[in-house]
A and B are shown apart, each in its own frame.
Chain A
Amino acid sequence: MFASNLLLLLAIILPLASLLLALRPDWQQAYRYCLPVLPLPALLAGLTLGPDASLELPGLLLGGLWGLNELRQVFLVLTATLWLAAGVFAVGYLKVHYLRRFCVFWTLTLAGNLGLVIAQDVASFYSFFALMTFAGYGLVVHEGSKEANRAGRVYLAMAVAGEMAILTGLLMAVQQADSGLLADLPAAVAQADRRWLIMFLLLAGFGVKAGLPLLHFWLPLAHPVAPTPASAVLSGAMIKAGLLGWLVTLPFGEVSLPGWGNVLVILGAVGSLGGAVLGVRHRRPKAVLAYSSISQMGLMTLMVGAALANAEYAGPLFAVIGLYVLHHGLAKGSLFLSTAMALPAGRSGQWLLWVLVALPGLSLSGLPYTSGAASKLAMKELLKPENFEFALAPYLPALMSAGAVATMLLVWRFLWVQRTAVGTGNNPVFMWLGWGLATISSLVLFWFLPWPREASVPGWPGSMVHSAWSLVWPILLATIISAVAWRSVKQR
């Protein structure tokens, strides 16, 4: 037991301790090289510790409790892996200009992100969440351009408003539960007499971070201006924090709320389709990817809505959401990192690079034998209309396939815009390493990482072949549509 406590503590203390490196200017090069090392203890904890690891910190804030459970383990692994890959990439990517400041804000955001995943008491969860949000601002405005400052202001304004909503929601929930632990909140919120207000506040508060429609404005502004490793982490791991916030505080499995479920499903649908419609018109690759994140989060919101609507499906849906989060995080991370890669000189090298860039995209839209396929199948298997009775239940399959088409469209749009934007030249070795790590973990490592057990994916080779057609037709449809659009643009 002692080892797990130490590892959990180390996961947070190591990044915070690395801040000492910022004290003297001439240590900044050493700081830069130790960036990738910081998430290692967290990754180790994620991989080795069982779901019941916990660390009691009575003195901390209002009585601290850190630990893991099934869901948190997946989030921890995703966050640690993504920060590791982005860290390696950042070592190559970073210029000397304001390096120390970037490293400081990078470590603070990392500490916040890791902390909120393993925090199980309300005070430290909220503290780490705030630390991640405010430090994230440092990454967004790092370039210092006018556009970056504007994006930073919007990000901060919405983040602070979100924080306040979360604070009020948590206050009312804790007051109802009169215990400081997150585990007791869902039950308390379920029977709270002002349940609708608490749920509205929590949904809105975390929704700002998760990019719900009408609360997503900061996302497409912040991602393009942030440095590439930062936007990779921002879109891969930090957005998921909002989702995690929902999962640990809202009353899943306590009471089934078809009304709320329906609202969330609508929002999810609007998010996924709207994201695609808006994303396609953008010229900058990172903006397109940002909208793709919004549309993917829309799908996840769909699942959260479903979980809310039907109490006894909450458990399995949690597992599928965990799977989907893992898949999307890694894929989106590698896509973002690829935006900064320059094409090698040789023709064959270029073709190889394009294939490697396209693969995570295709996996996103559910190409068989990829992580996307596994998560899409798991999602389809669970989101059958007859399981749920809220208004939009019958349209679930249609929504999911429309989502898949939308994702593929965005991927094509991204590839098309990336072709025009990318330059040729050789990349520093660390950028290759970082991007490679992200792509491999997205494509290959996915199958070996600890999934949630209940994700009911039957023997993956058999199911892939059997339902291949249900996975492939949206991809083909999207490819046809984008080919037609590409030719019409060519003529003009």
Chain B
Amino acid sequence: MTSALLYAFAGVALCGIGLFGFLRLQHLLRKLMAFNLIGSGVFLIMVGLAQRNGQPDPVPQALVLTGIVVAIAATALAVVLIRRYYHLSGQTTLAEPARENVRPKARAVNREGAPE
């Protein structure tokens, strides 16, 4: 029983570190890494806690697998977005640029009214 608790506590620690990193770090990639850390922590807790009186319990294993798949998909999407964002605005953090970016539009009518 103690080994299960050990895994759980490790998971909790991982979540703590990840959460701290997520909130503190400004650089987007670092934030993403922190997010993955929290994810692994949660999966560790899930595996650690899910002992059904001694025998290994198949359900949490399946859940963790699905969780990992979802986490990977989310991370891939995040990386693509960050790369595109860096390409467009040269920014690597979410900070608003200094000037208000709504220029009074002169030319053709744009669907969104946002500068083309």
Question: Are A and B in direct contact (Cβ within 8 Å)?
Answer: no
Q: Which A residues contact B (CB, under 8 angstroms)?
A: none
Q: Which B residues contact A (CB, under 8 angstroms)?
A: none
